[in-house]
Amino acid sequence: MTDPDHSKEARFYLAGFGLALTLTLVPFALVHWALMEGRALAITIAVLAVAQIVVHLRFFLHIDLSRQKREDLQLILFTVLLLAIMAIGTLWIMGNLATRM
């Protein structure tokens, strides 16, 4: 016999897998068949990448806005903030060095 919670969890994972697969294949299709170009393509891929991150956080890491998971979400957001500061700082420094050369 199957446990109802087990089948519910399996459906949850399969829905996440389907969404993740779709969000992966759509950008590849857009590029392969040249359905979009330039800035519109880059923005579309960026939006789909953010959606992919949200799908992974929700369906596979079980991060949501509930009280119990809020600390995990804060830790992830703090990590993203640190990575953004490092990346932007690196680009800023490299840009300054390029203008001084």
Please report, for the chain, the start and end positions of each structural domain, with discontinuous segments joined by +.
Answer: 1-62, 65-101
pLDDT at residue 3 greater than cutoff 80:
no
CA distance 27 to 31: 6
pLDDT at residue 1 greater than cutoff 80:
no
Q: What is the pLDDT of residues 34-85, one digit of tens each?
A: 889 999 999 999 999 999 999 999 999 888 877 777 888 888 899 999 999 9
Residue 53 has, within 13 A of its CA and on its CB side, a CA count of 9
- Which DSSP letter does residue 65 get? S
- Its pTM surpasses 0.85: no
CA distance 2 to 75: 36
Is 91 or 74 the better-scoring residue by pLDDT? 91
CA distance 16 to 25: 14
Amino acid 66: pLDDT: 79
